[in-house]
Amino acid sequence: MEEIDGRQKMNYRKLGRTGLEVSEIGFGAWGIGGELWQGSNDDQSLIALRKAADLGLNFVDTAQAYGNGHSEKLVAKLLKERKHGIYVATKIPPRNREWPARQNTKLRDVFPSKYVVESTEKSLKNLSVDRLDVQQFHVWNDEWTNDNEWKDTIDKLKEQQKIRFFGISINDHQPENALKVAETGRIDTLQVIYNIFDQSPEEKLFPLCMKLNIGIIVRVPFDEGSLTGSVTLSSEFDRGDFRRDYFRGDRRAQVVERIEKLKPLLGSETKTLPELALRLCLHADAVSTVIPGMRKTNNVESNCAVSDGRKLSTSMVNELRKHKWQRNFYD
């Protein structure tokens, strides 16, 4: 990120074949939905969204399931103020409300055509727009790839100009659960977990997406907060906060042990753990944008500042390879 006329300027990357130039740092809007996150405040969230836009951030990822549309409605307020230049990706929740998608589940039970259309209409209303920049399925099972119902429905929505592009948010820690659908040519973007602990998308998904020119949206760059260093042995979460379960039992102790091993890497190339986490994500050429959740302006400023064009050294990336951690705290 360079500075022009006293203001920071974000760096941008192409979102795959869409041709959209999106900010390297996007806005993950789950937390501002309120539900499942403690401490969410609408006024504060809007201030954070505005600050992000001021710093050149032009990509927001939300979902109908985030606060039952509340996140989309907050984003709509930003869109109304800024009019142009902000791209929004949202998601259709599974009809059976099961995250992630289970094996042997039929597409008609999760994303039947009528439901997909109705959900898209609902998001259009929540966001107060005539067309969605990117519509996504909020879960996926590659067994559904050859089912023509979803393909026909997406084609119809594009023809009706209700959506511009279509993508899939891949299930937790399952980057290879979209390889088949990527090959169909019907997918414009894929959203996937990628961070210091989970580097598995680099193995097959990233090379395939670069070959097919599919945009990669990286979510959970901070591993739900652990890679910010804010999770400690004494951390407590409200009963309704999903992190209460995510970091249950001895998981906080496991996290603290891993984070302590990362801290010696700070200093020469990065000053903080969040910066280190984001820079690893941006080091991958396949990545179009990274969408950390951020509800406060200080987090917006520090995250956006990472878009300065600097890349981690090869030696640092190789060192971070040693910190891969195969586990699934969503279980």
Percent over 70 (pLDDT), the chain: 95
**pLDDT per residue as tens digits for the range 74-92:** 999 999 998 789 999 999 9
**pLDDT per residue as tens digits for the range 143-179:** 999 999 999 999 999 999 999 999 999 999 999 999 9
Is 329 within the bounds of a domain?
no
**How does residue 6 score in pLDDT terms, banded at 50, 70 and 90?**
very low
Is 6 within the bounds of a domain?
no
pTM for the predicted model, two decimal places: 0.96
Is 2 within the bounds of a domain?
no
Is 28 within the bounds of a domain?
yes
Q: Is the pLDDT of residue 9 over 90?
A: no
How many beta carbons lie within 10 A of that of residue 42, not counting itself?
14
Domain count, the chain: 1
Torsion angle (degrees, nearest 10) of CA 197, 274, 331, 246: 140
Is 23 within the bounds of a domain?
yes
**pLDDT per residue as tens digits for the range 237-293:** 888 888 899 999 999 999 999 999 999 999 989 999 999 999 999 999 999 999 999
Is 236 within the bounds of a domain?
yes
Residue 294: which domain range? 13-321
Q: Which helix (H) or strand (E) covers residue 314, if one does?
A: helix 314-321
My answer on whether omega of the bond before 112 falls inside 30° of 0, hence cis, is no
Q: What CATH number is associated with residue 30?
A: 3.20.20.100
Q: Is the pLDDT of residue 184 over 50?
A: yes
Is 1 within the bounds of a domain?
no
Q: What per-residue confidence (pLDDT) applies to 38?
A: 54
Of 62, 83, 59, 127, nearest to 304 by C-alpha is: 59
Q: Is the pLDDT of residue 138 over 60?
A: yes
Cα radius of gyration (the chain): 19
As a whole number, the mean pLDDT across the chain is 94
Is 3 within the bounds of a domain?
no
Q: Is the pLDDT of residue 2 over 70?
A: no
Percent over 90 (pLDDT), the chain: 89
